Amino acid sequence: MRSRKYLAVFLAVLTAASGLMACGNSGTKGAGGNTSSDAKKINVLVESGSPAETLAKSTSEEFKKQTGYEVVVDAVAYSGMYDKISTEVKANQATHDVACMDVVWLPAFQKAIEPLKNADTSDFLPTLESSGSMNGQLLGYPMWVNSKILIYRKDLIPENKVPKNWDEYKELAKQLKTNDMYGTTVFGSGSDAVCSFLDFACQAGAKGLVFDKDGKVNLTDQAYVDALNFMKEMAQADYSPSDSLSTAATESQELFTNGKVAMQLNWSHQYPAAVKALGADKVGCAPMIGGSAGIGATTGPWYECVMKASKNKEIAEQYIKFMYDHNGDYMKQTLKIAGRKSVYESAAKEQGNEHTSAVLATLSAAQSQARPMVENWPKIEEVLTGTVESVLGGADAKEALAGAKSQIEQMSR
């Protein structure tokens, strides 16, 4: 039975191949250099439910009209994307021609990504060229970038009272505290806690996040001590919720939109959502606050990358450039974040997009920096998460940072 089945399949394939040759299609190559009908497809990996999925699907017909290539969108939950790419890389299989990647994954997959040549980076938002490059090579086109900004209740805070630095922020938080409302929140949970810690380290004067320019761990520098102590002071004050160790971006936003918090330092995409929930008359935004070294923040960009093992690299490169040309379409979606300076400048002219100006000012500050481009960042982030949690729980900042430095040095050898 099995041999008959295989024979039937073989004859069917042979007949189909003969038909193609009779039609004169033998040897015809697509832009990617492949000869089969499958060569007229490119596979794109995106995060499910993200703006990347929405835009990839909404532009697929236009790309097909331009190139003849069908875009097959594979949407995977964030928690499974890294493992999926890792499995393909280890097997040296080109299941996906293009992959949308969180910036923190780039070091791990650097050797599996095709570097871009002669890409025009003049319209990249600040920090995006440096955070998307390794060893002098650009690994992808930016899709969007996010940073934290100040989001506040403008019906409670006059424009001339909007805080610009640590001292003003703490003082205003005290004044805004009531029996029904906290002044602000502190992120003490997960990766949001680490990003907040690094935000404040930027503001306190850190030069190179976690690692200095020579690659040495710099966590015991005073900037990091000041950053953790600032977080600890706010977390222990009565003007912020007592459960900071359970608070991250989502929890803070929920408190804000429920009228329980007067201001927050949260990711910029939370601003349009807050306006939708509370109304434009009640929500304002401003650039990130500054410390002793001025305004500073770390970033959260995503990049669209061509996989080196792809057999359709030429068309894949054409695709990510096509998507970069459509970068402005991200502003039409819920999060309202993008990766091009011109897109942010144009969006800022429209009511409801005030967060784009705040992001531009924040990213343009000299102390705004990308997280370190190191392969073992996920493990380093675990160490930093534990460090922030221990200090917010009462541990000494200097001692906690010394311990974190030792752990990271050991894992980096």
pLDDT, tens only, 166-199: 999 999 999 999 999 999 999 999 999 999 999 9
Q: What is the pLDDT of residue 24?
A: 35
**Alpha carbon distance 228, 145 (integer Å):** 25
Query: Residue 13 — pLDDT band, cuts 50, 70, 90?
Result: very low
Q: How far is CA 320 from the centre of its chain?
A: 17
pLDDT, tens only, 92-149: 887 999 999 999 999 999 999 999 999 999 999 999 999 999 999 999 999 999 999 9
pLDDT, tens only, 76-87: 999 899 999 999
Same fold, 13-145+300-347 and 148-298+376-411: yes
pLDDT, tens only, 327-357: 999 999 988 999 999 999 999 999 999 999 9
AA letter at 199: D
pLDDT higher for 15 or 379? 379
Q: What is the pLDDT of residue 413?
A: 76
CA angle 74, 81, 209 (to 5 degrees): 135
Is residue 283 scored above 80 in pLDDT? yes
Q: What is the pLDDT of residue 37?
A: 45
Edge-to-edge strand order for the sheet containing 148-153?
Answer: 263-267, 148-153, 283-286
Q: How many residues does the chain have?
A: 413
Contact 234, 240 (CB under 8 A): yes
Give Cβ neighbours of residue 186 (< 8 Å, ≥ 6 apart).
Answer: 196, 231, 234, 235, 240, 244, 247, 392
- % of the chain at pLDDT higher than 90: 86
Q: Where along the chain do its domains lie?
A: 13-145+300-347, 148-298+376-411
Is residue 35 scored above 80 in pLDDT? no
Is residue 385 scored above 80 in pLDDT? yes
CA distances from 343 to 329, 350, 361 (A): 9, 12, 14
Q: What is the pLDDT of residue 284?
A: 98
- % of the chain at pLDDT higher than 70: 91
Q: What is the pLDDT of residue 4?
A: 37
Nearest Cα to Cα of residue 298 among 173, 133, 126: 126
3-state secondary structure at position 290: strand
CA angle 167, 249, 162 (to 5 degrees): 30
pLDDT higher for 10 or 201? 201
Contact 113, 140 (CB under 8 A): yes
**Alpha carbon distance 288, 200 (integer Å):** 10
Class of domain 13-145+300-347: alpha beta
Average pLDDT, the chain: 90
Half-sphere exposure of 23 (CA within 13 A, CB side): 8
Kindly write down the DSSP assignment for every residue of 42-65, as one continuous string. EEEEEETTSHHHHHHHHHHHHHHH
Q: How far is CA 225 from the centre of its chain?
A: 26
| CATH code given to domain 148-298+376-411 | 3.40.190.10
Is residue 11 scored above 80 in pLDDT? no
Q: What is the pLDDT of residue 300?
A: 87
Query: Residue 39 — pLDDT band, cuts 50, 70, 90?
Result: low
